[in-house]
Amino acid sequence: MMLIPPSAPRHPIATIRHGESFTDDFAWLRDKENPDTIAYLESENAYTEAVMAPTRELQEHLYREMLGRIKETDLSVPVQRGGYWYYTRTEEGKQYAIHCRRADGAAEDREEVLIDVNLLAQGKPFMALGDFAVSDDTRLLAYSTDDTGFRQYTLVIKDLSVGALLDFRRERVTSVAWTVDGLDLFYTVEDDTTKRSYQLWRHTLGGTGDRLVFEEADEAFSVHVSRTRSRGWLVLQCGSHTTSECRVLPAASGGGEWRLLLPRVADIEYDIEHHPAAGDRFIIRINDTGRNFRLVFAPAADVRRERLVEMVAHRPNVMLEGIDCFAKHLIVSEREGGVPQLSVSRIDGHRSYRIAFPEPAYEAYLHVNPEWDVTTIRIGYQSLVTPASVYDYDLDTTERTLLKQQEVVGGYDPSRFISERHEARAGDGTAIPVSLVRRRDVPADGTAPCLLTGYGAYGYPYPVTFSSNRLSLLERGMVVAIAHVRGGGELGKYWHDAGRMAHKLNTFTDFIASAELLIDHGLVARGRLAIEGGSAGGLLMGAVTNLRPDLFRAVVSQVPFVDVLNTMLDATLPLTVAEYEEWGNPQVEEQFRWLRAYCPYTNLRGGRYPAMLVRTSLNDSQVMYWEPAKYVAKLRLLTTDQHPLLLLTNMGAGHGGASGRYDRLREIAGDYAFVLAAVGVEGTLD
């Protein structure tokens, strides 16, 4: 029996923008309270379930297969802070982590459970833990939770000495920081409508009311409060996508006025760390002499541009991504040639070196390191073939000790797989890095199926990380590849700039060039190439599918930002005013033309399209559910083939999909089953 897909009613709304006429037949889907909206989403879910019915056995097999590789009852590497060891653990059959601590030197059975997220999640379809901040005296825990997926967090304070919550509850909290004496808690909150983090508040324990400390008026800027590792200062970061400034307050107590360090200057970003030795200074990462940042310092008591002393000069080929201060050492996180590096120097300047890593493509990063006066730090390392690993690293001797590597239950032999780095060539001659992993015995003869993914926005490098779930594709002979397209941060700020605003089309043509490289070099088969991306990566999926629908066999689009033009014209939405610096402001005609050229929803045309699985969540606050819903509804009218076109809405989650680890695993199993069936590896959608 042939299944009949849902058909959304058409209620056309006509508008004229910069002299061009547009008609939107499905704008009515924005009304979440309209029963017809929910009915349509549920009908699409039912249709997706029916179309995917032939893969149910495969989905269950994939789920059991992936679950079987996970150590369900497990323990994180404990982290020392303030006389306690903090860690999380998971238990078989439970969806969420349990957050615990144990006093230094105490027996292992003397565990103190701080938060059992499973208990918080009882009776709720979604649960996410946000902030988690223990006071310096270790007595109080401030933490926040979101139980809808809308990323709207509620802050509470728990008295750990008695295990009870205080009479304190604040909504829409985005960040928190304690003072040294533990009497004051600073927290930031978001705007009710736009979700922009814009106010800093001070709560005094036992006080009569909270005090508004700071409000950011510029709608392009958000605020975030934190504490330096030295524990000496509270820092309020105010930033847009291109500009920032910092205010500081001594952390000893909550009194006094916050001091502005370097006033904001358009297109200059900076952030700070504090070091009390060598004259008490702030160490500053700033991009005032070049886009990739340099490192400077200034006296903590007198931070002015004319007093900045350069420590590390700007380098056009090295992105300075972050700084971490310890009592005797400074760690600089860098990226060169698309590969992360950790550079170590002594504060006294006597020694400087980079930590060596064994593979040509990997992720290396500082792990959780709350303590200040240490010479051994935690670092994390993984690659496409090496599971996530945590090391103790001695900064003086350079000796590293493996503390834990992600266990792949049932055994995993990394030598059976190979990780490669290739270069595609864009139309303008730019070399585009492409990371790839495959089983070593899969031939490069143009027959292998492939899943190619990408992102390319906000200057975020696409991580080259390990996934035990991915083994379900690799073991079936699939190649998995990542296109490190412009708009991301793999090659620094210049790489980001070359794929945003007026240059956004580069992101899409880079991805197409990457796909053609894989095919032309025989690494994958033409006609067996599936692609996947989420959020801004979902925009990428929509744009490249419009440009080259013939190139791809299947598309998995997660919470895709596909209605770019309409969203960026609505200043009340979270992804609008602050995003003008990434995408452009369509109220300005020139910038409207940029967006008009690639907006997936606007540029849908009649013709053949690949098989598509489009996922969204009803409570998504970053990319509203109606964007993918409208996109699928419109595409149903225009596609001229019989390839599956599926919309699947999680009715109780947000941007990241299901929050429970087992529920999330089932979502991945569904995606994999769709891909495997679509490229002819296993299963069928007929």
Four-residue CA torsion sign, 651, 657, 658, 663: positive
Residue corresponding to tokens 């594709």: 473
User: Residues 514, 535, 557, 621: which is the catalytic one?
Assistant: 535
DSSP letters, 269-324, are: -EEEEEE-TTTSEEEEEE-SSSTT-EEEEEETT---GGG-EEEE--BTTEEEEEEE
d(CA 365, CA 538): 27
Residue burial 617-631, b: 16+ Cβ < 10 Å; e: rest: bbbbbbbbbbbbbbb
The pairing of beta strand 140-146 with beta strand 20-24? unpaired
Instruction: Tell me whether residue 620 is one of the annotated catalytic residues.
Output: yes
Strand order in the sheet with 233-239: 222-227, 233-239, 244-250, 259-260
User: Residues 467, 655, 659, 671: which is the catalytic one?
Assistant: 655
**CA-based nearest residue to 478, from 686, 678, 665, 666:** 678
Strand order in the sheet with 339-346: 318-325, 329-336, 339-346, 352-354
Beta-sheet strands, E only, within 82-221: 84-90, 98-103, 112-116, 128-134, 140-146, 154-159, 164-170, 173-178, 184-190, 197-204, 211-215
d(CA 178, CA 370): 14
Instruction: Tell me whether residue 11 is one of the annotated catalytic residues.
Output: no
Strand order in the sheet with 128-134: 128-134, 140-146, 154-159, 164-170
d(CA 511, CA 430): 12
d(CA 309, CA 686): 67
Q: What is the dihedral of CA 488, 492, 495, 499, to 10 degrees?
A: 40
User: Residues 24, 147, 620, 671: which is the catalytic one?
Assistant: 620
Q: Which phi and psi angles does 342 have, rounded to 5°?
A: -115, 115
SS3 for 521-543 is CCCCCCCCEEEEEECHHHHHHHH
Instruction: Tell me whether residue 550 is one of the annotated catalytic residues.
Output: no
* Angle at the Cα of 191 from the Cα atoms of 187 and 193, rounded to 5 degrees: 155
- Six-digit token string for 671: 């995606």
- Six-digit token string for 603: 């540029």
Q: Which residues pair with 178 in a beta bridge?
A: 185
Active site residues: 535, 620, 655
